[in-house]
Structure 1
Amino acid sequence: MVHSTRRDVIKVSGALLGGIAVGTTVTAATSTDRFIAQTKGRGLPNSVEVVHEMPGTDLAVVTGDESALRSSKGVKDFAADIELELNEPETNAEAPTFDASDYEGQPGDFLQWDKADLDVPEAHEVTEGEGTRVAVIDSGVLETHPDLAGPLNLDLSRNFTDDGGDHNPVGGDDHGTHVAGIVAADNGAGLGVNGTAPKTDLVDCRVFSDEGGASFADILAAIVYSVNIDADVANLSLGAYPIPRQGEGDFYGKVLNSTMTYANKEGTLLVIAAGNDEADLQHDKNFISLPNEGAQALSVAATGPIGYGWDADGDGELTDLVSPPESPAFYTNYGTNAVTLGAPGGDADLGAIGTGVPYFNDLVFNTVFTYEDTDGDDEPDTQVPGYGWKAGTSMAAPNVAGAAALVKSANPNYNANQVEAALKQAADVPAGYDKAYYGSGYLNILDAL
């Protein structure tokens, strides 16, 4: 078996990036009739239709004729909406999943190296997130999952797309369900998995449509909604890179900063995945990664072990690790001032994929769903709750979001800045590793509490 080091991966990243990068990328096309408008408080032209009002900000999402916006005295600035596309990595696609019936009698907590390394069971002796609210802005959360039905607030959960559905995921995209489980899975079936804050009030904000894309405008609207329902934390395991710093990229950055500043002022901490392009965000002067490089973002890089529960070094022992859980994942973006914290997101030995070994144990294990044909027409039509593995900064961010909920629960009077400060002050950069992958350091929940 050939084992790939991080240095090896960087050398061949150009060939692998399209299949392995997790998270989101900017598609080539922008919307021709959907716009983000910054207003002057004088109202919008009658010829445009308001999609999202975004109360508390000077922004609105509208559809209509660009010329009407251009000539309106009530519009300060505007730009076409852009679409983001969620790409699952090759490592995730190869990992197995189980439905709940297949998994009966097999508690999953022994596979959750991330929770063990973060001392989550010990943290739960202090708090499990009671009295807090976390919004997950993603591809939807499956409300029938036994480990999510308890924490999920159905009354507040929303669909921000125009596909006509509800908050539940559409198609086969279980990304948001996995993210939500990392935050708040409550082991509801008694044999499932654990989240970091299982007693938080979980709100699902679906921004990915049945066509597989997410609009930047819908994401902004979901952030504002999360703030206005008093979410203590909003998790965004999504992003767009590279976006040019100039031209329309400047406008996108400006409206994002405005939205995020509003969130911070009102007490909602925005925890955002740093991205999975292996990019040095600190020294990229031409492009920006959004939303994790926006104002007030708590940007999270990913770490993970190599060799958890499998013989990665070929010495016949299953008890040793080639690299520890706090080591940087091969795909993670980095940059000392661009990253706030490092947290478990999963890693992978690329040379082990397809060889029959359980390389996927190094990914993050939590809630997912599969599709089954239940009406006999040979077409998958039913979402079946289950469990499985994924890796990415998408998985690292919700570990931090859950930790933030625990800190807020233990300190109800903390504002967003104080919650973030507690997490940053408790974190340390692991000995022998580069600060660029951690910002303030590796997530330490017990010390933050």
Structure 2
Amino acid sequence: MPTHTRRTFLRASGALVGGIAASGTVTAATRTDRYLVDLRRNADLGGVEVVHDLRRIGYAVVRASRSEAEALGTAVPDLELRLKEPETNGRAPRAEAVTAADEPLYPLQWDKQALDVEAAHEVTTGEGTRVAVIDSGVDAGHPDLDVNVDLSRNFTDDGAGAGVPAGGDHGTHVAGIVAALDNETGVVGTAPATDLIDCRVFSDEGGASFGDVLAAIAYAAEIDADVANLSLGAYPVPRRAVETADGETSTFGSFYGKVLNRVMTAANREGTLLVISAGNDGANLQNDVGERIDLDGDGDAEYLSGGYWISLPNEGAQALSVSATGPIGFRWGKEGLREPPESPAFYTNYGTNAVTLGAPGGDADLSAIGTDAAWYYDLVLSTVPGGYGWKAGTSMAAPNVAGAAALVKSANPEYGANQVEAALKRAATVPEGYDRAYYGSGFLNVVDAL
């Protein structure tokens, strides 16, 4: 099998906004009503609306004017993020005819078969663990999901509550990959017995604020979640001060990275492993330095001064970053599989030191879309509000790792977050004939990690 090098370096577009350019997994734009503040000592928050109180690590998210925010300390605008999934997802069908009364769908779950979760479940199904899904909301009414509504939280200001997929079906799909019940109906998750928590950060308008994500990470640690899954991100974020499209210099990127690292480090120290999708840009995160891209959308490439980009939060401190793999031809290829389940997906970000593990996230034969072929079988089948459906992305790979982490923790309750990650990394291996840049430590091996 040849070594895979089928990636372009980066295909980025959109305007540079607040130090983050729009691309790939999400688009980002600065807000004018909310600020992230690195608080001065003894800062008085009494005169502003505190959206999220993160004072135990020295920060706050406030709704205020710029001058009011800057009176409290160093302040930058909050970011509004929007999900942008791989193009295949918009063409993938929902399994409308499938209900919880139908026969089990495990034969279509190539991801669970590749991970041999049946063997893993002979050891543990995740009992005694807790996984927080920081996403668009989880449908607590789905018959194949058991959501702890009492601990679930809505971190947006839309008033729609928690345990509802108000931000879209993405979070319900992610949750099913982690923890769909082993109830002889529908699909099964990697850790079906874990305590599943919905931490909704995408609102009913589709956006997620960076400050809400930070608060959700902190909350996951506060409720003693063993794992928090974040199938979201922003890329490219400059590591250093850059010249924006309008000629001004922005240092926002370094600020966002600083506050994120502090929140993530605190969560890890408190025992919460942060499993994060690597992103869907097809980008080499290891060598993304000083490339020319179209910053202002006018069709001409500009130079992002300084270069040296980073993807957040998956390249933040203590992140377990997950790339995506998938088959081509699962149950529809005339001559069997053209690509095995452990082969890199066409869209996945990569980079030897930027990726921790590779895991099943789905792939697609783009030439088969629009034909009679069941090309979508190569995507990941999971729960969606009202039924089941197929999606692909590093968003789907991360929850397979999050579920595996819950299994390791269940089997080894004395392990801390770093020990769980170490067990997963030790068990993983790079498939023969493939480039390590797509896998970090290797392809997820749940059984051996136990």
Common fold, TM-score beyond 0.5? yes
CA distance in 2, matches of 1:310, 1:260: 42
Query: Residue 412 of structure 1: SS of its match in structure 2?
Result: coil
Q: Number of residues paired by the alignment?
A: 412
Residue 10 of structure 1, CA deviation = 4.1
CA distance in 2, matches of 1:12, 1:132: 38
- Matched letter for residue 236 of structure 2: P
Tell me, yes or no, if the aligned pair for 2:144 and 2:185 is still in contact at 8 Å.
no
Q: Please list every run of 5 or more consecutive structure 1 residues that lacks an aligned counterpart in the other structure.
A: 16-20, 370-384
Identity percentage of aligned residues: 65
Residue 184 of structure 1, CA deviation = 0.3
CA distance in 2, matches of 1:292, 1:105: 37
Query: Residue 282 of structure 1: SS of its match in structure 2?
Result: coil
1:360 aligns with 2:364: no
Distance 1:431 1:9, change over 3 A: closer
1:65 aligns with 2:65: yes
CA distance in 1, matches of 2:167, 2:206: 10
Counterpart mapping for 1:327-406 below 5 A = 327-369=343-385, 385-406=386-407
Tell me, yes or no, if the aligned pair for 1:54 and 1:225 is still in contact at 8 Å.
no
CA distance in 2, matches of 1:282, 1:7: 14
1:237 aligns with 2:231: yes
1:137 aligns with 2:153: no
Provide, for residues 64-89 of structure 1, a one-character-per-residue CA deviation record: whole Å limited to 9, x for no partner: 121123234xx2x2211011101233
Give the aligned partner of residue 425 of structure 1: 426
Residue 136 of structure 1, CA deviation = 0.2
Give the aligned partner of residue 278 of structure 1: 282
Q: 96-105 or 127-136: which moved more?
A: 96-105
Residue 288 of structure 1, CA deviation = 1.2
- Coordinate RMSD, CA, aligned: 2.1
Give the aligned partner of residue 329 of structure 2: 307
Tell me, yes or no, if the aligned pair for 1:301 and 1:339 is still in contact at 8 Å.
yes
Give the aligned partner of residue 83 of structure 2: 86
Provide, for residues 359-392 of structure 1, a one-character-per-residue CA deviation record: whole Å limited to 9, x for no partner: 00100011012xxxxxxxxxxxxxxx20111000
CA distance in 1, matches of 2:10, 2:159: 42
Residue 46 of structure 1, CA deviation = 3.2
Residue 101 of structure 1, CA deviation = 5.6
Counterpart mapping for 1:38-437 below 5 A = 38-54=38-54, 56-72=56-72, 75=73, 77-99=74-96, 104-148=101-145, 150=146, 152-170=147-165, 173-188=168-183, 190-246=184-240, 247-285=251-289, 286=307, 287-311=309-333, 316-317=334-335, 320-369=336-385, 385-437=386-438
CA distance in 1, matches of 2:128, 2:6: 46
CA distance in 1, matches of 2:190, 2:237: 32
Provide, for residues 235-262 of structure 1, a one-character-per-residue CA deviation record: whole Å limited to 9, x for no partner: 0000001122221000000000000000
Residue 7 of structure 1, CA deviation = 6.6
Residue 6 of structure 1, CA deviation = 7.6
- Matched letter for residue 152 of structure 2: S
Residue 172 of structure 1, CA deviation = 7.2
Residue 57 of structure 1, CA deviation = 1.7
CA distance in 1, matches of 2:11, 2:369: 16
Query: Residue 166 of structure 1: SS of its match in structure 2?
Result: coil
Q: 54-63 or 198-207: which moved more?
A: 54-63
Query: Residue 47 of structure 2: SS of its match in structure 1?
Result: coil
Distance 1:12 1:360, change over 3 A: farther
- Matched letter for residue 176 of structure 2: G
Provide, for residues 393-447 of structure 1, a one-character-per-residue CA deviation record: whole Å limited to 9, x for no partner: 0000000000000000000010000000000011111111000000000000111
CA distance in 1, matches of 2:40, 2:12: 44
Counterpart mapping for 1:30-41 below 5 A = 30-41=30-41
- Matched letter for residue 123 of structure 1: A
Residue 9 of structure 1, CA deviation = 6.9
Residue 99 of structure 1, CA deviation = 3.9
1:446 aligns with 2:450: no
Q: Could you tell me the TM-score, scaled by structure 1's length?
A: 0.88
- Matched letter for residue 431 of structure 1: E
Q: Could you tell me the TM-score, scaled by structure 2's length?
A: 0.87
Query: Residue 328 of structure 2: SS of its match in structure 1?
Result: coil
Distance 1:206 1:352, change over 3 A: same
Residue 37 of structure 1, CA deviation = 1.1
Distance 1:353 1:6, change over 3 A: farther
Residue 13 of structure 1, CA deviation = 6.0
Tell me, yes or no, if the aligned pair for 2:25 and 2:281 is still in contact at 8 Å.
no
Query: Residue 243 of structure 1: SS of its match in structure 2?
Result: strand
CA distance in 2, matches of 1:66, 1:14: 30
Distance 1:12 1:161, change over 3 A: closer
CA distance in 1, matches of 2:443, 2:92: 26
Q: 283-292 or 359-368: which moved more?
A: 283-292
Residue 98 of structure 1, CA deviation = 2.3
Give the aligned partner of residue 372 of structure 1: none
Tell me, yes or no, if the aligned pair for 2:273 and 2:417 is still in contact at 8 Å.
yes
